[in-house]
């Protein structure tokens, strides 16, 4: 793992966006994926600015979202789809070659799962997978105990995620499941970038980076990835 310690959130966001851009320059026709959430907000904005300023050309690059709350569409506040739409896609003055944003409100969620696998098979494997880390060590909705061999899947939300989720949409929605890229697809990415900020992430980040590789801390699987960057601010990196 390449550990990159940044002085604050802004530097973490900029550094992560720069690594994504470097990879796209090497392989302009690859497939990339960003997470939703609080952590990636700054990175996504910096990345969109880089595209708009002509610093990176995404005209041949495809984009796929990482995960979604089952039941939420990309019009619902707090959904990963809306995050993607508002913070990335609508900001871009030069679009991706193609995008696939998971629809958690699809009537047939199984077909949505298959469509996610199909998109990654068609344009992948992922060139760059950017990930946040949950308070329980989840990656996307690969929750504690997840099977590392899965591709896209639908999974019950863990207790920790059920507690944390109100920060995204209050009491308005009560999802119980997530739909997510699987660990197998994440581990097949040529470059993985795990981003984390804030003292509240220090303990779980330490477990992911230095603890045993176990599906009880899904992010620990990244210790086995040949090209994984951990880009963290000083507070999140304090115990590394």
Q: Give contact residues for ligand PGA (rule: CB under 6 A).
A: 35, 37-39, 132-134
Which CB sits closer to ligand PGA, 27 or 234?
234
Under 8 Å between Cβ of 15 and 240: no
What is the smallest separation between the CB atom of 112 and ligand PGA, expressed in angstroms?
20
What is the smallest separation between the CB atom of 206 and ligand PGA, expressed in angstroms?
16
- Catalytic (active site) residue 233: no
Return the residue nearest ligand PGA (CB atom): 37
Task: Compute the radius of gyration of the chain from its Cα atoms.
Answer: 16
In 3D, which of 90, 36, 97 has the Cα closest to residue 63?
A: 97
- Catalytic (active site) residue 138: yes
Distance CA 218, CA 140 (A): 10
- Catalytic (active site) residue 100: no
In 3D, which of 169, 139, 171 has the Cα closest to residue 67?
A: 139
Q: Which of 62, 138, 153, 225 is catalytic?
A: 138
Under 8 Å between Cβ of 197 and 205: no
Distance CA 85, CA 24 (A): 21
What is the DSSP code (8-state) at residue 3?
E
Which CB sits closer to ligand PGA, 71 or 134?
134
Q: Which of 143, 153, 197, 233 is catalytic?
A: 143
Distance CA 157, CA 138 (A): 10
What is the smallest separation between the CB atom of 199 and ligand PGA, expressed in angstroms?
12
- Catalytic (active site) residue 143: yes
Which CB sits closer to ligand PGA, 123 or 152?
152
Which CB sits closer to ligand PGA, 10 or 38?
38
Return the active site residues.
Answer: 67, 136, 138, 143
């Amino acid at each position: 793992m390449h550990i990159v310690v940044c002085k604050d959130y802004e530097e973490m966001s900029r550094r992560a966006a720069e690594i994504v851009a470097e990879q796209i320059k090497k392989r302009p026709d690859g497939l990339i994926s960003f997470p939703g959430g609080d952590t990636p907000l700054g990175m996504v904005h910096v990345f969109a600015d880089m595209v708009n300023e002509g610093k990176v050309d995404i005209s041949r690059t495809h984009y796929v979202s990482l995960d979604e709350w089952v039941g939420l569409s990309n019009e619902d506040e707090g959904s990963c789809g809306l995050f993607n739409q508002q913070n990335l896609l609508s900001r871009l003055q030069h679009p991706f070659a193609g995008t696939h944003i998971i629809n958690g409100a699809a009537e047939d969620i199984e077909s949505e799962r298959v469509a996610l696998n199909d998109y990654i098979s068609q344009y992948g494997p992922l060139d760059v997978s950017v990930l946040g880390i949950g308070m329980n060590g989840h990656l996307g909705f690969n929750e504690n105990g997840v099977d590392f061999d899965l591709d896209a899947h639908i999974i019950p939300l863990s207790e920790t995620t059920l507690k944390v989720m109100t920060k995204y949409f209050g009491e308005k929605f009560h999802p119980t499941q997530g739909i997510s890229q699987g660990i197998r697809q994440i581990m097949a990415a040529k470059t993985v970038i795990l981003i984390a900020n804030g003292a509240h992430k220090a303990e779980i980040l330490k477990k992911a980076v230095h603890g045993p590789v176990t599906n009880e801390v899904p992010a620990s699987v990244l210790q086995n990835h040949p090209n994984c960057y951990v880009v963290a601010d000083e507070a999140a990196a304090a115990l590394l």
